[in-house]
A and B are shown apart, each in its own frame.
Chain A
Protein backbone atom coordinates (compact mmCIF):
# COMPACT_ATOMS: atom_id res chain seq x y z
CA UNK A 1 0.00 0.00 0.00
CA UNK A 2 2.62 2.49 1.16
CA UNK A 3 4.80 1.37 -1.70
CA UNK A 4 2.04 2.01 -4.22
CA UNK A 5 1.49 5.52 -2.91
CA UNK A 6 5.18 6.28 -3.25
CA UNK A 7 5.38 4.94 -6.79
CA UNK A 8 2.37 7.05 -7.74
CA UNK A 9 4.02 10.07 -6.13
CA UNK A 10 7.20 9.58 -8.14
CA UNK A 11 5.24 9.12 -11.34
CA UNK A 12 3.32 12.31 -10.64
CA UNK A 13 6.53 14.22 -9.98
CA UNK A 14 8.09 12.84 -13.16
CA UNK A 15 5.02 13.99 -15.07
CA UNK A 16 5.28 17.45 -13.48
CA UNK A 17 8.95 17.69 -14.45
CA UNK A 18 8.14 16.74 -18.03
CA UNK A 19 5.29 19.24 -18.26
CA UNK A 20 7.38 22.07 -16.78
CA UNK A 21 10.21 21.33 -19.21
CA UNK A 22 8.18 20.76 -22.33
CA UNK A 23 5.39 23.34 -22.11
CA UNK A 24 7.52 26.40 -23.03
CA UNK A 25 9.10 24.38 -25.82
CA UNK A 26 5.80 23.18 -27.14
CA UNK A 27 4.16 26.60 -26.89
CA UNK A 28 6.89 28.06 -29.09
CA UNK A 29 6.64 25.14 -31.49
CA UNK A 30 2.91 25.65 -31.83
CA UNK A 31 3.34 29.43 -32.23
CA UNK A 32 5.67 28.76 -35.15
CA UNK A 33 2.95 26.96 -37.13
CA UNK A 34 0.08 29.33 -36.28
CA UNK A 35 -1.32 32.24 -38.19
CA UNK A 36 -1.20 35.70 -36.59
CA UNK A 37 -4.88 35.33 -35.66
CA UNK A 38 -4.54 31.89 -34.10
CA UNK A 39 -1.77 33.21 -31.85
CA UNK A 40 -4.16 35.47 -30.00
CA UNK A 41 -7.15 33.13 -29.76
CA UNK A 42 -8.45 32.56 -26.26
CA UNK A 43 -8.65 29.90 -24.87
CA UNK A 44 -5.19 29.14 -26.22
CA UNK A 45 -5.05 26.54 -28.99
CA UNK A 46 -2.44 23.87 -28.28
CA UNK A 47 -2.93 21.96 -31.48
CA UNK A 48 -3.69 23.59 -34.79
CA UNK A 49 -3.44 22.30 -38.32
CA UNK A 50 0.09 23.54 -39.08
CA UNK A 51 0.55 26.53 -41.37
CA UNK A 52 4.11 26.77 -42.69
CA UNK A 53 4.03 30.44 -43.73
CA UNK A 54 6.33 31.61 -40.93
CA UNK A 55 8.96 29.08 -41.91
CA UNK A 56 8.67 30.07 -45.55
CA UNK A 57 9.00 33.71 -44.52
CA UNK A 58 12.04 33.08 -42.32
CA UNK A 59 13.80 30.78 -44.76
CA UNK A 60 13.30 32.85 -47.89
CA UNK A 61 12.73 36.49 -46.88
CA UNK A 62 15.28 36.80 -44.08
CA UNK A 63 18.70 35.64 -45.39
CA UNK A 64 18.40 32.88 -42.84
CA UNK A 65 20.39 30.36 -44.84
CA UNK A 66 23.31 32.79 -44.79
CA UNK A 67 23.11 33.19 -41.00
CA UNK A 68 22.82 29.45 -40.61
CA UNK A 69 25.95 29.01 -42.70
CA UNK A 70 27.73 31.66 -40.58
CA UNK A 71 26.84 29.87 -37.35
CA UNK A 72 27.87 26.54 -38.80
CA UNK A 73 31.21 27.82 -40.10
CA UNK A 74 32.09 29.52 -36.82
CA UNK A 75 31.06 26.49 -34.76
CA UNK A 76 33.01 24.12 -37.01
CA UNK A 77 36.11 26.34 -36.85
CA UNK A 78 35.82 26.57 -33.08
CA UNK A 79 35.47 22.82 -32.71
CA UNK A 80 38.48 22.07 -34.89
CA UNK A 81 40.65 24.73 -33.23
CA UNK A 82 39.74 23.82 -29.67
CA UNK A 83 40.06 20.08 -30.32
CA UNK A 84 43.45 20.44 -32.01
CA UNK A 85 45.04 22.63 -29.36
CA UNK A 86 43.16 20.85 -26.60
CA UNK A 87 44.16 17.32 -27.62
CA UNK A 88 47.86 18.22 -27.67
CA UNK A 89 47.75 19.93 -24.27
CA UNK A 90 45.57 17.25 -22.71
CA UNK A 91 47.94 14.53 -23.90
CA UNK A 92 50.81 16.50 -22.38
CA UNK A 93 49.03 16.68 -19.03
CA UNK A 94 47.90 13.08 -19.17
CA UNK A 95 51.28 11.51 -20.02
CA UNK A 96 54.00 13.75 -18.63
CA UNK A 97 54.99 14.80 -15.14
CA UNK A 98 56.50 18.23 -14.72
CA UNK A 99 56.88 20.88 -12.11
CA UNK A 100 53.77 22.94 -11.53
CA UNK A 101 51.52 20.68 -13.62
CA UNK A 102 48.69 20.85 -11.11
CA UNK A 103 48.97 24.63 -10.81
CA UNK A 104 48.95 25.14 -14.57
CA UNK A 105 45.95 22.88 -14.94
CA UNK A 106 44.16 24.83 -12.26
CA UNK A 107 45.02 28.20 -13.79
CA UNK A 108 43.71 27.01 -17.14
CA UNK A 109 40.43 26.10 -15.47
CA UNK A 110 40.30 29.48 -13.76
CA UNK A 111 40.14 31.29 -17.10
CA UNK A 112 36.62 29.87 -17.27
CA UNK A 113 35.65 32.12 -14.37
CA UNK A 114 36.56 35.33 -16.18
CA UNK A 115 33.36 37.25 -16.99
CA UNK A 116 33.25 37.43 -20.77
CA UNK A 117 32.11 41.01 -20.65
CA UNK A 118 35.54 41.84 -19.19
CA UNK A 119 37.14 40.57 -22.39
CA UNK A 120 34.78 42.05 -24.88
CA UNK A 121 36.03 45.66 -24.93
CA UNK A 122 39.75 44.92 -25.33
CA UNK A 123 38.89 42.15 -27.74
CA UNK A 124 36.78 44.51 -29.81
CA UNK A 125 39.62 47.04 -29.99
CA UNK A 126 42.15 44.33 -30.89
CA UNK A 127 39.97 42.97 -33.68
CA UNK A 128 39.30 46.52 -34.89
CA UNK A 129 43.02 47.10 -35.18
CA UNK A 130 43.68 43.75 -36.86
CA UNK A 131 40.80 44.28 -39.29
CA UNK A 132 39.08 41.15 -37.97
CA UNK A 133 35.79 42.71 -36.89
CA UNK A 134 32.83 41.05 -38.58
CA UNK A 135 34.86 38.04 -39.72
CA UNK A 136 34.61 34.35 -38.91
CA UNK A 137 38.24 34.39 -37.76
CA UNK A 138 37.60 37.03 -35.11
CA UNK A 139 34.74 35.04 -33.61
CA UNK A 140 36.52 31.70 -33.89
CA UNK A 141 39.61 32.99 -32.06
CA UNK A 142 37.44 34.19 -29.19
CA UNK A 143 35.38 31.00 -29.03
CA UNK A 144 38.42 28.72 -29.13
CA UNK A 145 39.75 30.55 -26.08
CA UNK A 146 36.40 29.96 -24.31
CA UNK A 147 36.25 26.30 -25.29
CA UNK A 148 39.90 25.41 -24.75
CA UNK A 149 39.97 25.18 -20.92
CA UNK A 150 37.17 22.65 -20.69
CA UNK A 151 38.31 20.80 -23.81
CA UNK A 152 41.69 20.28 -22.15
CA UNK A 153 40.15 19.19 -18.87
CA UNK A 154 37.70 16.78 -20.44
CA UNK A 155 40.29 15.24 -22.72
CA UNK A 156 42.79 14.68 -19.90
CA UNK A 157 40.17 12.38 -18.41
CA UNK A 158 39.62 10.55 -21.68
CA UNK A 159 43.35 10.14 -22.37
CA UNK A 160 43.94 8.87 -18.84
CA UNK A 161 41.56 6.04 -19.66
CA UNK A 162 43.75 4.86 -22.57
CA UNK A 163 46.24 2.41 -21.05
CA UNK A 164 49.86 3.37 -21.56
CA UNK A 165 50.87 -0.14 -22.62
CA UNK A 166 49.23 0.35 -25.99
CA UNK A 167 51.42 3.24 -27.01
CA UNK A 168 54.52 1.64 -25.49
CA UNK A 169 53.89 -1.27 -27.81
CA UNK A 170 53.83 1.23 -30.66
CA UNK A 171 57.17 2.67 -29.51
CA UNK A 172 58.66 -0.80 -29.59
CA UNK A 173 57.45 -1.07 -33.17
CA UNK A 174 59.47 2.03 -33.91
CA UNK A 175 56.75 4.67 -33.83
CA UNK A 176 57.69 8.22 -32.83
CA UNK A 177 55.75 9.63 -29.90
CA UNK A 178 53.75 11.86 -32.18
CA UNK A 179 52.82 8.96 -34.45
CA UNK A 180 51.84 6.85 -31.46
CA UNK A 181 49.64 9.72 -30.31
CA UNK A 182 48.05 10.19 -33.71
CA UNK A 183 47.65 6.57 -34.78
CA UNK A 184 47.13 4.75 -31.50
CA UNK A 185 45.95 7.00 -28.68
CA UNK A 186 43.62 9.30 -30.62
CA UNK A 187 41.58 6.48 -32.21
CA UNK A 188 41.25 4.75 -28.84
CA UNK A 189 40.05 7.95 -27.18
CA UNK A 190 37.75 8.78 -30.10
CA UNK A 191 34.38 8.35 -28.33
CA UNK A 192 35.45 10.76 -25.62
CA UNK A 193 36.79 13.18 -28.18
CA UNK A 194 33.45 13.19 -29.99
CA UNK A 195 31.74 14.14 -26.74
CA UNK A 196 34.27 16.92 -26.19
CA UNK A 197 33.76 18.14 -29.74
CA UNK A 198 30.00 18.31 -29.29
CA UNK A 199 30.45 20.46 -26.19
CA UNK A 200 32.75 22.82 -28.09
CA UNK A 201 30.35 22.99 -31.02
CA UNK A 202 27.38 23.80 -28.78
CA UNK A 203 29.33 26.48 -26.94
CA UNK A 204 30.00 28.26 -30.20
CA UNK A 205 26.52 27.67 -31.62
CA UNK A 206 24.89 29.18 -28.53
CA UNK A 207 27.23 32.09 -27.78
CA UNK A 208 25.55 35.48 -27.92
CA UNK A 209 27.48 38.34 -26.30
CA UNK A 210 30.61 38.24 -28.45
CA UNK A 211 28.58 37.55 -31.57
CA UNK A 212 26.44 40.59 -30.77
CA UNK A 213 29.47 42.85 -30.50
CA UNK A 214 31.93 41.40 -33.00
CA UNK A 215 29.74 40.24 -35.87
CA UNK A 216 28.05 42.34 -38.53
CA UNK A 217 26.47 41.86 -41.93
CA UNK A 218 29.06 39.33 -43.06
CA UNK A 219 29.32 37.09 -40.03
CA UNK A 220 26.13 37.53 -38.01
CA UNK A 221 25.32 34.27 -36.21
CA UNK A 222 21.90 32.87 -35.35
CA UNK A 223 21.57 33.92 -31.68
CA UNK A 224 22.03 37.54 -32.78
CA UNK A 225 19.30 37.09 -35.38
CA UNK A 226 16.91 35.59 -32.81
CA UNK A 227 17.63 38.35 -30.31
CA UNK A 228 16.97 40.85 -33.09
CA UNK A 229 13.53 39.34 -33.60
CA UNK A 230 12.90 39.80 -29.88
CA UNK A 231 14.00 43.38 -29.58
CA UNK A 232 14.02 45.18 -32.92
CA UNK A 233 11.08 43.94 -34.92
CA UNK A 234 7.46 44.51 -33.92
CA UNK A 235 5.14 41.65 -33.04
CA UNK A 236 6.24 39.01 -35.53
CA UNK A 237 5.82 36.32 -32.94
CA UNK A 238 5.20 33.42 -35.27
CA UNK A 239 8.22 34.19 -37.44
CA UNK A 240 10.36 34.72 -34.37
CA UNK A 241 9.21 31.31 -33.11
CA UNK A 242 9.93 29.64 -36.43
CA UNK A 243 13.45 31.05 -36.50
CA UNK A 244 14.02 30.00 -32.88
CA UNK A 245 12.82 26.46 -33.64
CA UNK A 246 15.25 26.21 -36.55
CA UNK A 247 18.13 27.28 -34.29
CA UNK A 248 17.01 24.81 -31.64
CA UNK A 249 16.87 21.70 -33.83
CA UNK A 250 20.64 21.03 -34.01
CA UNK A 251 21.02 21.65 -30.26
CA UNK A 252 18.31 19.09 -29.50
CA UNK A 253 19.89 16.46 -31.73
CA UNK A 254 23.37 16.99 -30.29
CA UNK A 255 22.10 17.00 -26.71
CA UNK A 256 20.41 13.65 -27.22
CA UNK A 257 23.69 12.33 -28.61
CA UNK A 258 25.52 13.45 -25.46
CA UNK A 259 23.18 11.83 -22.90
CA UNK A 260 25.42 9.79 -20.62
CA UNK A 261 28.39 12.11 -20.76
CA UNK A 262 26.60 15.27 -19.77
CA UNK A 263 27.37 15.21 -16.07
CA UNK A 264 31.07 14.72 -16.60
CA UNK A 265 31.07 17.53 -19.13
CA UNK A 266 29.17 19.88 -16.86
CA UNK A 267 31.51 19.46 -13.93
CA UNK A 268 34.71 18.66 -15.86
CA UNK A 269 35.08 15.38 -14.09
CA UNK A 270 34.60 16.76 -10.56
CA UNK A 271 31.67 14.33 -10.56
CA UNK A 272 32.03 11.15 -12.55
CA UNK A 273 28.96 10.67 -14.69
Chain B
Protein backbone atom coordinates (compact mmCIF):
# COMPACT_ATOMS: atom_id res chain seq x y z
CA UNK B 1 0.00 0.00 0.00
CA UNK B 2 1.20 3.50 -0.83
CA UNK B 3 1.36 5.53 2.35
CA UNK B 4 0.96 9.24 2.98
CA UNK B 5 4.20 10.98 3.85
CA UNK B 6 2.90 13.48 6.38
CA UNK B 7 0.43 13.69 9.23
CA UNK B 8 0.83 10.31 10.90
CA UNK B 9 2.03 11.51 14.27
CA UNK B 10 -1.24 12.86 15.74
CA UNK B 11 -2.84 9.47 15.16
CA UNK B 12 -0.13 7.63 17.03
CA UNK B 13 0.45 10.07 19.85
CA UNK B 14 -2.38 9.10 22.25
CA UNK B 15 -1.68 5.37 22.13
CA UNK B 16 2.05 5.74 22.44
CA UNK B 17 1.76 8.29 25.24
CA UNK B 18 -0.51 5.87 27.08
CA UNK B 19 1.94 2.98 26.71
CA UNK B 20 4.83 5.12 27.88
CA UNK B 21 2.91 6.26 30.93
CA UNK B 22 1.29 2.97 31.96
CA UNK B 23 3.88 0.47 30.75
CA UNK B 24 7.28 2.07 30.55
CA UNK B 25 7.09 4.41 33.50
CA UNK B 26 6.23 1.63 35.99
CA UNK B 27 9.13 -0.44 34.67
CA UNK B 28 11.53 2.41 35.30
CA UNK B 29 9.91 3.02 38.68
CA UNK B 30 10.41 -0.66 39.55
CA UNK B 31 14.13 -0.30 38.97
CA UNK B 32 14.20 2.68 41.35
CA UNK B 33 12.19 0.85 44.02
CA UNK B 34 14.49 -2.15 43.74
CA UNK B 35 17.36 -0.06 45.11
CA UNK B 36 15.52 0.55 48.40
CA UNK B 37 14.93 -1.47 51.47
CA UNK B 38 11.21 -0.80 51.55
CA UNK B 39 8.74 -2.60 53.74
CA UNK B 40 5.12 -1.48 53.34
CA UNK B 41 4.33 -2.03 57.02
CA UNK B 42 7.23 0.18 58.19
CA UNK B 43 7.28 3.07 55.70
CA UNK B 44 9.45 5.23 57.97
CA UNK B 45 12.34 2.75 57.77
CA UNK B 46 12.57 2.94 53.98
CA UNK B 47 16.14 3.62 52.92
CA UNK B 48 18.43 3.36 49.92
CA UNK B 49 20.54 0.19 49.91
CA UNK B 50 21.84 0.18 46.35
CA UNK B 51 22.26 -3.32 45.00
CA UNK B 52 21.61 -4.95 48.37
CA UNK B 53 18.35 -6.57 47.27
CA UNK B 54 20.00 -8.01 44.19
CA UNK B 55 22.89 -9.46 46.17
CA UNK B 56 20.42 -11.05 48.55
CA UNK B 57 18.44 -12.61 45.70
CA UNK B 58 21.35 -13.90 43.68
CA UNK B 59 22.76 -15.71 46.71
CA UNK B 60 19.40 -17.10 47.83
CA UNK B 61 19.04 -20.82 47.01
CA UNK B 62 15.25 -20.40 46.83
CA UNK B 63 15.64 -18.06 43.85
CA UNK B 64 17.85 -20.57 42.07
CA UNK B 65 15.37 -23.35 42.84
CA UNK B 66 12.39 -21.34 41.61
CA UNK B 67 14.20 -20.33 38.42
CA UNK B 68 14.82 -24.01 37.75
CA UNK B 69 11.12 -24.77 38.37
CA UNK B 70 10.12 -22.08 35.88
CA UNK B 71 12.58 -23.46 33.33
CA UNK B 72 11.41 -27.06 33.79
CA UNK B 73 7.79 -26.04 33.38
CA UNK B 74 8.54 -23.94 30.31
CA UNK B 75 10.60 -26.65 28.62
CA UNK B 76 8.22 -29.47 29.55
CA UNK B 77 5.02 -27.70 28.62
CA UNK B 78 6.22 -26.14 25.37
CA UNK B 79 7.88 -29.27 24.01
CA UNK B 80 4.85 -31.43 24.82
CA UNK B 81 2.56 -28.87 23.19
CA UNK B 82 4.76 -28.54 20.12
CA UNK B 83 4.96 -32.28 19.49
CA UNK B 84 1.25 -32.89 20.09
CA UNK B 85 0.21 -29.79 18.15
CA UNK B 86 2.42 -30.65 15.19
CA UNK B 87 1.13 -34.21 15.09
CA UNK B 88 -2.50 -33.10 15.12
CA UNK B 89 -1.86 -30.35 12.56
CA UNK B 90 -0.27 -32.79 10.13
CA UNK B 91 -2.97 -35.43 10.55
CA UNK B 92 -5.86 -33.01 10.14
CA UNK B 93 -4.29 -30.94 7.35
CA UNK B 94 -5.69 -33.23 4.67
CA UNK B 95 -9.00 -33.73 6.43
CA UNK B 96 -10.73 -30.39 6.10
CA UNK B 97 -14.16 -31.73 6.99
CA UNK B 98 -13.05 -33.44 10.19
CA UNK B 99 -11.04 -30.37 11.11
CA UNK B 100 -14.02 -28.04 10.69
CA UNK B 101 -15.96 -30.35 12.96
CA UNK B 102 -13.30 -30.41 15.67
CA UNK B 103 -12.32 -26.74 15.56
CA UNK B 104 -15.10 -25.08 17.57
CA UNK B 105 -14.45 -27.48 20.45
CA UNK B 106 -10.67 -27.25 20.54
CA UNK B 107 -10.89 -23.47 20.55
CA UNK B 108 -12.58 -23.47 23.93
CA UNK B 109 -9.62 -24.22 26.24
CA UNK B 110 -7.73 -21.30 24.68
CA UNK B 111 -10.18 -18.69 25.86
CA UNK B 112 -11.76 -20.18 28.94
CA UNK B 113 -10.59 -18.19 31.97
CA UNK B 114 -7.32 -19.85 33.16
CA UNK B 115 -8.54 -19.83 36.74
CA UNK B 116 -11.62 -21.75 35.62
CA UNK B 117 -9.50 -24.29 33.74
CA UNK B 118 -7.41 -24.71 36.90
CA UNK B 119 -10.61 -25.40 38.80
CA UNK B 120 -11.59 -28.11 36.31
CA UNK B 121 -8.30 -29.90 36.68
CA UNK B 122 -8.38 -29.69 40.46
CA UNK B 123 -11.63 -31.61 40.24
CA UNK B 124 -10.02 -34.08 37.85
CA UNK B 125 -7.00 -34.77 40.08
CA UNK B 126 -8.85 -34.73 43.39
CA UNK B 127 -8.06 -37.96 45.31
CA UNK B 128 -11.71 -38.60 46.31
CA UNK B 129 -13.96 -36.98 43.78
CA UNK B 130 -11.54 -36.83 40.86
CA UNK B 131 -11.83 -39.20 37.93
CA UNK B 132 -8.18 -39.45 36.86
CA UNK B 133 -7.24 -41.83 39.66
CA UNK B 134 -10.55 -43.68 39.54
CA UNK B 135 -10.06 -44.69 35.91
CA UNK B 136 -6.35 -45.36 36.42
CA UNK B 137 -7.30 -47.84 39.15
CA UNK B 138 -9.81 -49.44 36.80
CA UNK B 139 -6.99 -50.29 34.40
CA UNK B 140 -4.89 -51.56 37.28
CA UNK B 141 -2.72 -48.56 38.12
CA UNK B 142 -2.78 -47.32 41.70
CA UNK B 143 -3.49 -43.62 41.30
CA UNK B 144 -0.75 -41.50 42.85
CA UNK B 145 -1.54 -38.43 44.98
CA UNK B 146 -1.03 -36.01 42.09
CA UNK B 147 -0.96 -32.67 43.79
CA UNK B 148 0.85 -33.65 46.97
CA UNK B 149 3.83 -35.32 45.29
CA UNK B 150 6.51 -32.81 44.22
CA UNK B 151 7.29 -34.42 40.85
CA UNK B 152 3.73 -35.32 39.96
CA UNK B 153 2.44 -31.87 40.87
CA UNK B 154 4.67 -30.53 38.09
CA UNK B 155 3.35 -33.21 35.73
CA UNK B 156 -0.20 -32.18 36.64
CA UNK B 157 0.63 -28.53 35.91
CA UNK B 158 2.16 -29.42 32.55
CA UNK B 159 -0.91 -31.53 31.66
CA UNK B 160 -3.21 -28.65 32.53
CA UNK B 161 -1.12 -26.26 30.49
CA UNK B 162 -1.10 -28.75 27.62
CA UNK B 163 -4.87 -28.97 27.80
CA UNK B 164 -5.08 -25.22 27.50
CA UNK B 165 -2.53 -24.60 24.77
CA UNK B 166 -2.06 -27.66 22.57
CA UNK B 167 -4.93 -26.06 20.58
CA UNK B 168 -2.74 -23.00 20.07
CA UNK B 169 0.08 -25.01 18.50
CA UNK B 170 -2.41 -27.16 16.60
CA UNK B 171 -4.29 -24.24 15.04
CA UNK B 172 -1.25 -22.13 14.24
CA UNK B 173 0.69 -24.99 12.68
CA UNK B 174 -2.41 -26.19 10.86
CA UNK B 175 -2.83 -22.74 9.32
CA UNK B 176 0.83 -22.90 8.33
CA UNK B 177 0.50 -26.29 6.68
CA UNK B 178 -2.66 -25.60 4.70
CA UNK B 179 -1.11 -22.43 3.31
CA UNK B 180 1.89 -24.33 1.91
CA UNK B 181 2.01 -24.37 -1.88
CA UNK B 182 0.65 -27.57 -3.44
CA UNK B 183 3.25 -27.78 -6.19
CA UNK B 184 5.96 -29.02 -3.85
CA UNK B 185 3.85 -31.92 -2.71
CA UNK B 186 2.75 -32.83 -6.21
CA UNK B 187 6.34 -32.80 -7.38
CA UNK B 188 7.31 -35.01 -4.45
CA UNK B 189 4.49 -37.42 -5.25
CA UNK B 190 5.64 -37.64 -8.86
CA UNK B 191 9.12 -38.45 -7.59
CA UNK B 192 7.57 -41.25 -5.56
CA UNK B 193 8.20 -39.81 -2.10
CA UNK B 194 6.35 -41.51 0.76
CA UNK B 195 4.27 -39.71 3.37
CA UNK B 196 7.07 -39.70 5.92
CA UNK B 197 9.63 -38.39 3.41
CA UNK B 198 7.26 -35.67 2.27
CA UNK B 199 6.71 -34.61 5.86
CA UNK B 200 10.39 -34.64 6.77
CA UNK B 201 11.79 -32.99 3.64
CA UNK B 202 9.00 -30.63 2.59
CA UNK B 203 6.35 -29.93 5.23
CA UNK B 204 8.73 -29.48 8.13
CA UNK B 205 11.29 -27.18 6.46
CA UNK B 206 8.48 -25.00 5.06
CA UNK B 207 6.95 -24.85 8.51
CA UNK B 208 10.07 -23.86 10.41
CA UNK B 209 9.47 -20.13 10.50
CA UNK B 210 5.94 -20.53 11.84
CA UNK B 211 7.13 -23.10 14.35
CA UNK B 212 9.72 -20.67 15.68
CA UNK B 213 7.06 -17.93 15.98
CA UNK B 214 4.70 -20.27 17.82
CA UNK B 215 7.40 -21.53 20.18
CA UNK B 216 8.51 -17.96 20.88
CA UNK B 217 5.01 -16.86 21.83
CA UNK B 218 4.32 -19.95 23.92
CA UNK B 219 7.69 -20.00 25.69
CA UNK B 220 7.23 -16.41 26.86
CA UNK B 221 3.70 -17.12 28.06
CA UNK B 222 4.73 -20.31 29.85
CA UNK B 223 7.57 -18.51 31.60
CA UNK B 224 5.19 -15.83 32.86
CA UNK B 225 2.44 -18.26 33.80
CA UNK B 226 0.95 -17.48 37.20
CA UNK B 227 -2.77 -18.26 37.28
CA UNK B 228 -2.71 -22.03 36.97
CA UNK B 229 0.07 -22.36 39.54
CA UNK B 230 -1.90 -20.27 41.99
CA UNK B 231 -5.05 -22.34 41.59
CA UNK B 232 -3.71 -25.86 41.13
CA UNK B 233 -0.76 -26.10 43.55
CA UNK B 234 -0.11 -22.63 45.03
CA UNK B 235 3.55 -23.51 44.55
CA UNK B 236 3.24 -26.62 46.69
CA UNK B 237 3.73 -29.15 48.04
CA UNK B 238 6.07 -26.97 50.10
CA UNK B 239 7.79 -24.90 47.46
CA UNK B 240 8.24 -27.78 45.00
CA UNK B 241 6.33 -26.05 42.19
CA UNK B 242 7.08 -22.47 43.16
CA UNK B 243 8.11 -20.48 40.08
CA UNK B 244 9.85 -17.09 40.06
CA UNK B 245 6.47 -15.47 39.50
CA UNK B 246 4.99 -17.23 42.53
CA UNK B 247 8.00 -16.30 44.67
CA UNK B 248 7.66 -12.71 43.55
CA UNK B 249 4.02 -12.74 44.58
CA UNK B 250 4.94 -14.27 47.96
CA UNK B 251 7.59 -11.59 48.61
CA UNK B 252 5.11 -8.89 47.60
CA UNK B 253 2.58 -10.47 49.97
CA UNK B 254 5.02 -9.84 52.84
CA UNK B 255 5.04 -6.17 51.81
CA UNK B 256 8.72 -6.30 50.80
CA UNK B 257 8.25 -4.10 47.76
CA UNK B 258 11.96 -3.31 47.30
CA UNK B 259 12.93 -6.95 47.21
CA UNK B 260 9.96 -7.86 45.02
CA UNK B 261 10.91 -5.15 42.53
CA UNK B 262 14.50 -6.39 42.42
CA UNK B 263 13.23 -9.86 41.56
CA UNK B 264 10.91 -8.35 38.93
CA UNK B 265 13.83 -6.52 37.38
CA UNK B 266 15.92 -9.68 37.31
CA UNK B 267 13.03 -11.56 35.67
CA UNK B 268 12.67 -8.81 33.12
CA UNK B 269 16.36 -8.97 32.22
CA UNK B 270 16.11 -12.74 31.90
CA UNK B 271 13.03 -12.53 29.68
CA UNK B 272 14.59 -9.81 27.55
CA UNK B 273 17.70 -11.95 27.03
CA UNK B 274 15.56 -14.94 26.09
CA UNK B 275 13.42 -12.89 23.71
CA UNK B 276 16.51 -11.48 22.01
CA UNK B 277 17.99 -14.94 21.53
CA UNK B 278 14.74 -16.24 20.08
CA UNK B 279 14.26 -13.17 17.89
CA UNK B 280 17.73 -13.60 16.50
CA UNK B 281 16.77 -17.15 15.62
CA UNK B 282 13.63 -15.78 14.01
CA UNK B 283 15.53 -13.28 11.90
CA UNK B 284 17.80 -16.07 10.71
CA UNK B 285 14.81 -18.23 9.81
CA UNK B 286 13.22 -15.41 7.89
CA UNK B 287 16.41 -14.81 5.92
CA UNK B 288 16.73 -18.51 5.14
Contacts and interface: CB of A to CB of B under 8 A. Distances in A.
B168 A266 contact: yes
Nearest to B18: A85
Nearest to A255: B111
Interface string A81-108: 0000110110111111110010010001
B33 A110 contact: no
A57 interface: no
A28 interface: yes
A101 B11 CA distance: 13
A115 interface: yes
Contacts, number: 282
B111 A206 contact: yes
Interface string A1-40: 0000000001101100110111111011001000000011
A52 B7 CA distance: 59
Contacts of A96: 3-8, 11
Interface stretch (B148-156, B186-194, B264-272): B264-272
Interface in B177-220: 179, 210, 213-214, 217, 220
B102 A18 contact: yes
A43 B288 CA distance: 56
A60 B106 CA distance: 33
B3 A85 contact: no
Interface residues of B, number: 94
Interface string B242-273: 00010011001000010011001101100110
Given A10-B95, A208-B226, A95 B4 contact: yes
Interface in B69-124: 88, 91-92, 95, 98, 101-124
A208 B15 contact: no
Contacts of B91: 10, 13
Interface in B1-20: 1-12, 14-16, 18-19
B163 A20 contact: yes
Contacts of B23: 111, 114, 119, 145
A225 to B, nearest CB: 9
B271 A240 contact: no
A75 to B, nearest CB: 11
A223 B98 contact: no
Contacts of B8: 92-93, 95-98, 101
B131 A164 contact: no
A271 B271 contact: no
Contact of A208 (B29, B230, B257): B230
Contacts of B267: 115, 117-118
Interface in A124-172: 124-126, 141-142, 144-145, 148-149, 152, 160, 164
8 contacts: A44-B131, A97-B3, A121-B261, A208-B113, A209-B227, A230-B231, A266-B172, A271-B172
Given A115-B268, A124-B252, 17 more contacts: A10-B98, A21-B105, A24-B117, A24-B163, A44-B129, A97-B8, A117-B226, A118-B267, A120-B264, A122-B27, A222-B113, A244-B116, A247-B113, A247-B115, A255-B108, A267-B214, A270-B210
Interface of B: 1-12, 14-16, 18-19, 22-24, 26-27, 29-30, 33, 88, 91-92, 95, 98, 101-124, 126, 128-129, 131, 134, 163, 167-168, 171-172, 174-176, 179, 210, 213-214, 217, 220, 223-224, 226-227, 230-231, 234, 245, 248-249, 252, 257, 260-261, 264-265, 267-268, 271-272, 275
Interface of A: 10-11, 13-14, 17-18, 20-25, 27-28, 31, 39-40, 42-44, 85-86, 88-89, 91-98, 101, 104, 108, 110-111, 113-126, 141-142, 144-145, 148-149, 152, 160, 164, 177, 202, 205-206, 208-209, 212-213, 222-223, 226-227, 229-231, 237, 240-241, 244, 247-248, 251-252, 254-256, 258-259, 262-263, 266-267, 270-273
